Amino acid sequence: MSNMRKISDINGYVEGNSKWPDFDKKICEEGNVVFTIPKSENIYDAPIFFNPMMNLNRDLSILFTKNYSEKINRKLRIFEPLAGIGIRAMRMLKEIPESVEEIVISDYNTITNSVSNYNKEKLNFTNNLHIFNRETRSLTLDLAENKYKYDYIDLDPFGSPSPYIDFMWPVLNSKALISVTATDMTALCGVYPMACFRKYGGYPINNQHNHETAIRILLGMVVRSAGRHEKGITPIFSISVDHYAKIFFKIENGRGRANKSMEQIGFSFTCDNCHEIYYEKIDGEIPKCCGELQKAGPLWIGKLFDKDWCERGLKSLETMKLPSEKRIAKQLLEGVNEEDLKGFFQISKLCKKLKISQPSFTDLFSKIDEEGFKVIRSQFKDQVIRTNISGRKLVKILKELAEK
Ligand SMILES: C[S@@+](CC[C@H](N)C(=O)[O-])C[C@H]1O[C@@H](n2cnc3c(N)ncnc32)[C@H](O)[C@@H]1O
């Protein structure tokens, strides 16, 4: 179906006029893009938002956009509705032009728009980058009304994505890819449980599992929103890193798909003695273990990664030269191994709980290996392992190593 109005006729379109706002300039570089931002003492004093520390977040978007385009063998139409100065989009156009048809970016800050427009013209993205000065939700409604659809949406707000997610489904193509970032980690990780419950509809837990639980609560919120629009989701990659959580997932249309995703909503239970974690469906039985159980949710109890996407990601990293390549590779490796390694233990906390000294990871890993189990370090949290050994067996090994 053709669009009802030309994109540049939609309200808030920022026309080509590269007038620089009234600030000193600073030249920056990220990936293959050299761009200009207003000079400031630090990122918090700046009149625009640009955080160089988020380059890993942008690298991931570039990696999965490339892989998705290769999978479906065509260029993608992309929408980033909270784009800041649009560096993610400009990097995509420069670093993976073969994967991108066009990108729409928007931000309600007018100085931000002028900076984006200046860089757009300097970098010569005049045909395939469209900038809007609009509030996210009202722009998305306008795009939907004019029949615009996108293959990839990247939602990167300050704080929680919950206020925006319901608006995204109507502008997504069937089988589209979405990425959602959340930076309100104090809520999601259980420091402020009521804030988490209010924003995400899931009760968090502030223990060794809190970062993985944060991802699962975020996915739970997304699944329920998708379900309201008769869509199901499949997570392909998840990460909790620095001060944020980011998930990538594919959507599929239909009530059946939506119901299937809803079946993966449930609760987690962590044993406060051996730290084993159990996932149960919403109507499942409460498990039994050797200690008291701490409950979190409702949350997503399904897989957090798609093995094939993670393997492809690792392969692409070999040729892409992304700034955060090494950290991304570790998380992709965790994704490749997810199915085998369901156990997730923070060794420092477990040893503290057991009142024993902590062994070296080398000793622990060789002992687990000797016993015939697999183990890797997790990127979700410091001092955490992923393994297929049970909590009780792990406790036995830790006690033996402490006695040596
Ligand atoms: C976290 S920053 C985005 C960073 C950007 N994605 C990047 O990679 O650099 C969030 C941006 O959204 C803008 N923003 C916040 N709320 C908005 C809203 N409701 N509508 C439009 N823009 C909004 C802010 O001005 C800010 O530039």
Structure tokens at 101: 């048809």
Query: 293-297, 305-309, 390-394: which has the minimum mean pLDDT?
Result: 390-394
CA distances from 250 to 144, 179, 180, 198, 212 (A): 19, 9, 12, 26, 20
ipTM tops the 0.85 cut: yes
- Main-chain phi, psi angles of 173, to 5 degrees: -65, 160
Residue nearest to atom 20 of ligand 1 (CA): 135
Q: Where are the domains of the chain?
A: 7-307, 345-404
Residues 328-353: what's their mean pLDDT? Answer: 88
Interval between CA 89 and ligand 1 midpoint (Å): 13
Residue-wise burial string across 113-147, b where 16 or more C-beta atoms lie within 10 A, e elsewhere:
bbbbbbbbeeeebeebbbbbbbebeebbebbbebe
Max Cα-Cα span within the chain: 74
Three-state DSSP class for 161?
Answer: coil
Which of ligand 1's atoms lies nearest the C-alpha of 163? Answer: 19
Q: How much of the chain exceeds pLDDT 90, in percent?
A: 83
Top-confidence range, 161-170, 330-339, 350-359, 374-383? 161-170
Q: Which residue has the higher pLDDT, 39 or 44?
A: 39
Residues touching ligand 1 (Cβ under 6 Å) are: 49-50, 54, 58, 82-84, 87-88, 107-109, 112, 135-136, 156-158
The CATH number given to 345-404 is 3.30.56.70
pLDDT digits (tens, 9 = 90+) for 120-137: 999 999 889 999 999 999
Angle between helices 210-228 and 193-200 (to 10 degrees): 20
Which of ligand 1's atoms lies nearest the C-alpha of 164? Answer: 19
3-state secondary structure string across 348-376: HHHHHHHCCCCCCHHHHHHHHHHCCCCEE
Query: What is the model's pLDDT at position 1?
Result: 63
pLDDT digits (tens, 9 = 90+) for 170-211: 999 999 999 999 999 999 999 999 999 999 999 999 988 889
The CATH number given to 7-307 is 3.40.50.150
CA distance 222 to 299: 10
